[in-house]
Chains A and B, each alone.
Chain A
């Protein structure tokens, strides 16, 4: 058997080594799993398509950045919640609702142009996401209902709502009955920052948000409030922090950002509201948040890593006719290994002989 012995101080080396170790272990394990299952395909070429190709082709690099932007935004919001011990698992739902409310404003002003349009749509998206996450905050602060279950259930509801909207009020009147909205005009679309690709200003906003969050966590009392509430709720009360406010704050922030990310998908790469809006970003961002240990700047890098598995997964789907769920396997495994390896920061592992104990 193995046993963990707490270190007297966290290991500085392991803080940096554990992510690398986790990545290596994930790659090795995935290699063996694929080798076992994919008897008819050469595994090394699958790996090449997954991890190397997206990094040497400018188109794929731009797409990688396109995918990273919503992940950064959503993960930032979630990381604030997780620090406070508020488990918003339904960012996917808030993302969808933000896409719908922000998109609805755009559709309402379909024939109007103006610089104010995108800010107005963004506001609507943020409010939509906030409202949706706010339901969970209300139920948690008022009735102590677990936010994990509420946000998750509401995600299923949001996806169904999107489908109802696209078959009803939001359907493109001249779209041959496809469940899709009208495509947005240029003045409602996010400006492209890399000509010839789909990369838009969303990425810049995401990176700016990362630094703002970093400042807040590092230098502002609210960052400390969130950390204390998550780590020792009674100490937070002792410090005079209102735990209900913290819950509201955490959920509204994460919901608002997720909503904005939803809109940016709609008026960015998609250009219209489609049933394909939910792309699992809300769930993947949970992984991103953990991989970055909830650190706002690290979130940028882990988002890029996870975006790579997205792009790689899509390519593998196209070239080898493998399901894109290969992405989820990677992400799940990576998180497993990462959680396991992070134990080494706080503990030393020793092996010992089994001691007989009655059951």
Chain B
């Protein structure tokens, strides 16, 4: 393999991992606050559609991404209202959100399946981007890629370097105690859920605005679920999300290249790899620290908070 191909593969891996990074970092914050939102897939697909539609009509990438963000938040707000105000079961509500998201996106998107858009282009910084190897590897992505990595940093900074972040972690650890000393558990959680929706929305839009210039109602193909797996993989540590996402990006790209190289396996079996890898990684994670309870998992994850006072 030559240098160019290796660079292309590395770039491909990064691009493939970005939607997962967005979706997973959002879900990570949500879970840190003690909420399990299984609607990531639904929020992603809605974001993918919103981004595509706005890009198609306005041609403005900025507006498209903004629309994806808002769409993700809008649909996440349903989840927030149901689980935080009406105290519904989080698992059931999350599943309903996914089904509803897939349905509404397919419905609204019915007129767009034949259309094409202009993909968001990569940045070009004079000199830096032209530098051999380093240029294409570090300075020639599209802005959303940098945003994804920045968001991971931002979430880490928020969680571990701000008092609000400390409060959010405390709420995920013990919501009754947080309430007792006067913190507004529900407000924190609602905001976290909205942030999760925004991130999933952008993650979805990355698929329709950067990876392929078309809209398809099954374009998320389980990435929302893989993102939830990634949060478990990361042990709720933001930077480990990047590691996990790169592994999945790598498997996805290798599978594509393997198909290109005419490997004598049916394409279907290769396509199974990312899903099987998710399972394998979850298992190996548990095999590694089998004998201790997971300390990083937020204690209140998925538990309903109802203040009696």
Q: Is the interface of B mostly helix, strand, loop or mixed?
A: helix
Q: B107 to chain A: which residues have CB within 8 Å?
A: 37, 322-323, 325-326, 329
Q: B226 to chain A: which residues have CB within 8 Å?
A: 153
Check: A301 CB closer than 8 A to any chain B CB: no
**Which residue of chain B is the closest to A335 with respect to CB atoms?**
B96
Which of A167, A290, A329 sits near B92, CB closer than 8 Å? A290
Which residues of A approach B to under 8 Å, CB–CB?
2, 4, 6, 37, 87, 89, 139, 143-146, 148-150, 152-154, 156-157, 160-161, 163-164, 167-168, 283, 286-287, 290, 322-323, 325-333, 335-336, 339-340, 342-343, 347, 357-359
**Which residue of chain A is the closest to B96 with respect to CB atoms?**
A335
CA distance A336 to B93 in the complex (A): 7
Most buried by A among B97, B99, B278: B99
User: In the complex, how many angstroms separate the beta carbon of A83 from the nearest chain B beta carbon?
Assistant: 13
CA distance A336 to B86 in the complex (A): 11
Which of A2, A145, A322, A335 sits near B110, CB closer than 8 Å? A322
Whether B268 contacts A339 by the Cβ 8 Å rule is no
Q: B287 to chain A: which residues have CB within 8 Å?
A: 143
Q: B173 to chain A: which residues have CB within 8 Å?
A: none
Contact pattern, B 250-291, Cβ under 8 Å of A = 1, otherwise 0: 000000000000000010110110011011001100110010
Whether B86 contacts A327 by the Cβ 8 Å rule is no
Which of B88, B97, B282 sits near A150, CB closer than 8 Å? B282
Whether B279 contacts A347 by the Cβ 8 Å rule is no
Q: Is the interface of A mostly helix, strand, loop or mixed?
A: helix
Whether A339 contacts B225 by the Cβ 8 Å rule is no
Q: A161 to chain B: which residues have CB within 8 Å?
A: 268, 272
Which of B95, B106, B266, B279 sits near A325, CB closer than 8 Å? B106
Q: List 5 A–B pairs whose Cβ atoms lie within 8 Å, in order of A's numbering.
A: A139-B283, A143-B283, A323-B106, A332-B101, A359-B187
Which of A146, A156, A287, A329 sits near B282, CB closer than 8 Å? A146
CA distance A99 to B82 in the complex (A): 37
CA distance A327 to B106 in the complex (A): 11
Q: A139 to chain B: which residues have CB within 8 Å?
A: 279, 282-283
Which residues of chain B from 136 to 182 have a CB within 8 Å of any chain A CB? 164, 182
Whether A327 contacts B103 by the Cβ 8 Å rule is yes
Q: A286 to chain B: which residues have CB within 8 Å?
A: 95, 99
**Which residue of chain B is the closest to A342 with respect to CB atoms?**
B88
User: In the complex, how many angstroms separate the beta carbon of B302 from the nearest chain A beta carbon?
Assistant: 11
Contact pattern, B 86-123, Cβ under 8 Å of A = 1, otherwise 0: 11110111011101111111111010000000000000
Whether B96 contacts A143 by the Cβ 8 Å rule is no
* A328 touching B99 in the complex, CB below 8 Å, given contacts A149-B279, A340-B86: yes
Q: B271 to chain A: which residues have CB within 8 Å?
A: 160
CA distance A142 to B221 in the complex (A): 28
